C-alpha cells in the first residue's frame, strides 16, 4: 500500500499506542503481522496522514474498517461513527468480559460489528493469549 507516513510518524503512532491495536487492544508482540497506522478518517473522506488522524491498528481491524467511517447501530438503526481513539476513551466505550469485548455505547456497537472484533476466531485467539499471559 502506498504510504505518505514517514518512519518517524509511524514510530510515534506505535509508541503512543503502547504497541497495541487501539481498537481491539491486541498487543503487537502477540500478532503475526506488524500493526499499522490507520487513518481514523480515511483519506477518501478527507482524512490526513497526521498525528491527530492516525491510530495504531492490527491488520484485521484495519482491513475490516477499510474506507468506512461508521455504520448503522444494530440497536437503534442510527448512523453512528466508529470509535475515535484520538478523541474518545476506550474504557468509556468498551469493556472486557473474559476474552470478549462488550459495547457500552452505540459507537462501540458499530465498531465491534464492522471491525469484527468478536469473531469466534478472534475471541479464541484472545483466550489463548490471556492464558499465555500475553494479553492483559
Ligand atoms: Zn485490532
43-95 residue pLDDT tens: 999 999 999 999 999 999 999 999 999 999 999 999 999 999 999 999 999 99
Between the CA of 59 and the centroid of ligand 1 the distance, in Å, is: 7
Strand (E) positions, 40-88?
54-57, 70-72, 79-81
Which set of grid coordinates corresponds to residue 7? Answer: 518512519
Pick 119 or 2 by higher pLDDT.
119
Between the CA of 77 and the centroid of ligand 1 the distance, in Å, is: 24
Over pLDDT 90: what percentage of the chain?
A: 95
| pTM of the full structure | 0.95
Between the CA of 44 and the centroid of ligand 1 the distance, in Å, is: 21
Between the CA of 69 and the centroid of ligand 1 the distance, in Å, is: 16
Instruction: State the chain's mean pLDDT as an integer.
Output: 96
Q: Which of the four pLDDT bands, split at 50, 70 and 90, describes residue 4?
A: confident
Q: What value does the mean pLDDT take over residues 90-106? A: 98
Between the CA of 28 and the centroid of ligand 1 the distance, in Å, is: 9
What's the pLDDT at 1? 47
Q: Contact 69/110 with Cβ under 8 angstroms?
A: no
What's the pLDDT at 2? 52
Domain ranges across the chain = 7-131
What's the pLDDT at 136? 77
Report every protein residue that has its C-beta within 5 angstroms of ion ligand 1. Answer: 21, 23-24, 26, 58, 61
| CB within 8 Å of 71: residues ≥ 6 apart | 79, 80, 82, 110, 113, 114
What's the pLDDT at 34? 95
Amino acid at each position: 500500500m502506498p504510504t505518505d507516513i514517514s518512519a518517524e510518524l509511524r514510530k510515534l503512532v506505535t509508541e503512543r499506542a503502547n504497541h497495541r491495536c487501539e481498537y481491539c487492544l491486541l498487543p503487537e508482540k502477540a500478532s503475526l503481522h506488524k500493526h499499522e497506522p490507520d487513518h481514523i478518517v480515511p483519506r477518501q473522506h478527507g482524512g490526513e496522514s497526521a498525528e491527530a488522524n492516525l491510530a495504531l491498528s492490527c491488520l484485521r481491524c484495519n482491513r475490516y474498517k477499510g474506507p468506512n467511517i461508521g455504520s448503522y447501530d444494530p440497536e437503534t438503526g442510527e448512523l453512528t461513527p466508529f470509535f475515535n481513539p484520538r478523541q474518545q476513551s476506550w474504557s468509556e466505550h468498551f469493556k472486557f468480559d473474559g476474552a470478549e469485548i462488550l459495547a457500552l455505547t452505540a459507537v462501540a456497537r458499530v465498531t465491534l460489528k464492522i471491525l469484527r472484533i468478536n469473531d469466534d476466531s478472534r475471541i479464541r485467539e484472545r483466550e489463548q493469549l490471556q492464558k499465555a499471559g500475553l494479553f492483559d
